Amino acid sequence: MTRIAVVTGGTRGIGEAISLKLKEKGRHVIANYGGNDEAARAFSSRTGIDVRKWDVGDHQACLDACAEIEAQFGPIDILVNNAGITRDATIMKMTFEQWDEVIRIDLTGCFNMAKACFPNMRTRSWGRIVNVGSVNGQGGQIGQVNYAAAKSGIHGFTKSLAMEGARVGVTANAIAPGYIATEMLSTIPDNVMEKIVEQIPVGRMGQPEEIARGVEFLTSDNASFITGSTLSINGGQHMY
């Protein structure tokens, strides 16, 4: 049986690597994206993966999109909540709009998508939900009170959702990536990036594929006894 997988923010960066890995493992992947039509078309053309555009911060849009996917392809078995944005500033300079936008996409987006997918997973007694957090949601970071709050919230959200799904065959886990070599980090000055890498025990940034391998495992049948966990993939940067 082919599992249906939805990956939010699934056409670029870590999300692209996750979509490709799940496809490689025989999943039928639908990659969500939020804004860059040209990049999404190029990704779909290159990979053959179906792409769908909707705003994960819009509750009704998530419900409608998932209903359309299930009507066309069948029940959604796997949900990877990967969509995320940054709007960095110190709290002295951060606007409410910068705070609200990050919370809306990074955290509320997880709720919206889980709300759309969890009920049918529960009915079928099988489901895999993986929420992508961050090392900065575990340890904090200057200039990211919005992002760190959202990602920290994901870890608590995951544990509570896991409790609700455990007895009905639905697992919920989180992955907390460290600094991964993606477009999102391209705005960080080289001298700052060098200092960050110095704090990573393995001495390098991670690769998107290393996160994707973790997601693939947590969404497999082999991970049925793992729920409510956070898998930290950060090169040893933050340990607890």
Q: Which of 33, 147, 179, 240 is catalytic?
A: 147
End-to-end CA distance of the chain: 38
Q: How far apart are CA 91 and CA 101, in angstroms?
A: 15
Cα atoms in the Cβ-side hemisphere of radius 13 Å centred on 124: 15
Instruction: Please name every residue paired with 180 in a beta bridge, in sequence order, or none if there are none.
Output: 206
| Distance of alpha carbon 151 from the chain centroid | 10
Instruction: Please name every residue paired with 127 in a beta bridge, in sequence order, or none if there are none.
Output: 170
Tokens in use for 174?
A: 């989180």
Longest CA span, the chain: 53
DSSP annotation of 234: S
157 and 108 in contact (C-beta within 8 Å)? no
DSSP track, 201-225: TTSS-B-HHHHHHHHHHHTSGGGTT
Q: Is 147 a catalytic residue?
A: yes
Q: How far apart are CA 14 and CA 67, in angstroms?
A: 25
What three-state secondary structure class fits 1?
A: coil
| Distance of alpha carbon 46 from the chain centroid | 22
Of how many residues is the chain composed? 240
Task: Give me the active site residues, please.
Answer: 147
